[in-house]
Structure 1
Amino acid sequence: MTTMRAVISIAAIKGWKLYQMDVYNAFLQGDLYEEVYMTIPEGFSKPRRKAGQVCKLLKSLSVTTPMDQNQKLTTTEFDQYVPSSHEDPGLTDHTSYQKLIGRLLYLTTTRPDIAFAVQTLSQFMYSPKTSHMEAAMRLVRYVKNAPGLGILMSSGGDNLMKVYCDADWGACVNSRKSITGYVLQYGNSPISWKSKKQATVSRSSAEAEYRAMASAVAEVVWMTSLFKELGLIITAHLPFEEQTADLFTKGLGRQLHSYLISKLGMKNIFISSSLRGSVKELNKCVSVP
């Protein structure tokens, strides 16, 4: 999907013609005229609920964010060592929760705004609790609140690739691992994004940020190779005296070394090492009131 989004965003900016092929399928495109009822999902509680009752959705409560900002979801193993102040039983039927999260995972291909919430809820697929189902239903209400929201492959903007990355240090209360998040844009169009828990525990916020940056840079490197295959990036040969990267790969002569340093934009802010020159500069630049 990342490749497809990248190609579409490039085509939008370049003004290329795109042709779409639709596959008509009765399961996906069929019209539904009947009223549909569903069994009450686990996690939905109502006083004096009778056995065998079903529910019909008339409207949903307005939800403006995918997840509660202060909500911390825990695993059943975590609850064994750190008991919760309120009861949070596990679901007897895991299938409904797993199917719901699977559908939401598919939806993240066009809804980057729910990526963090979905990756958080997907960690509890094998042992979901009531709180997990309630958080998932809140996410569904958020999606239903704006069903037409999605990414726009804009023809405006520049031909620049931009990437934003961040990390939330120790955000996972179950493992104290940090969360990596990044989004890569071409022009004004987002083409790649990710929200993922880091593989190891970071001992500082700086370490977590660098891990997130490494993931973002890896995605940029891959995207650069894709753009090169599409002919959007042309590799030019430089003579050795103009190759600034030689500073980082080999020892150089004085003249070439000084020239490449100037290309980097480095400036010497200290006084010349010559004793006589230093005294003259000192008299010029330093005045005692």
Structure 2
Amino acid sequence: MEASGSVPPPASTHVSLDKATTDAGTGNPDSVAKNAVSEKPVGKKRRRERRLALKKTQLCRHFDKPDGCPFPDCVYAHGLDELQDGGTFTVTAQRKLIRDQGEKRQADKFVHKDDATVVDYVSRTGSMVDRYYTRMYAADIMGEPSEDQFINMHSNRLCVIGIAPGHAIFTRGLTVIAIDFEPTIVESKVSGKKKKGGVWLNPDTVLCRIKCSTGDVFAFRSCIRGALIEINESLTPALFTTKPFTQGFLAIVRPKPVEIVEIQASLLPQQDYLELRASHVTAASFR
């Protein structure tokens, strides 16, 4: 005779344990999959993959040192090529790219005045443009031979546009007599601290037309996508050809932060441009 106070064991507990044992013993795929998911959550794996992918949009701090990157399994990008292959470019990564380029320019040019003669010091440190801008070039614009322009990108993202040393005006020894900006370019106005309201430019947008004494007329274009910040209202034909990189620039354009890498990839670095126009251009032409 059973005691009235005894309580039978819960049947559901035995059933669930037996069922789990049976599923594992028979290799039930549904049960095994559920157990695998519970042990290794898919969400954590995806988050880890996203973190690794984003690291490819950041430059490694060691790759450009003399000994290179000391980490064989480094997950950061080693140069612009790997940034392009990464597929995803965050605004932060692209801003860091132009900051790193500016710091590298400063490091390459640095020399203390007490460690060199005046001539060597000036030669080593370079011009203001060399110190603060990434120099790039567009060659044979719109398929026109020797119609070249420079695009100098400052570390603050602003791009200065003007005539390149390999342009036909220089190679043919032409004399500029007039500079006519397009009406939409002249009428463009910006306002506020952030300079908003400037006309939007595409690479093929004509900024101005340059007239020469021979009757030749050359169209100068934006070469990049961006908002027009200002044109050079003090520009004269003499400044345009004698001081193209400083007082003789055409316009200043501000591209979108997300397009910095794309713009730099579409243009020629200075060394490549120098090799392309080696028959007409020397290093002295860029001063």
Give the TM-score, by structure 1 length. Answer: 0.20
Which protein is richer in strand relative to its size? 2
Q: Whose RCO is larger (CA < 8 A, sep 6+)? A: 1
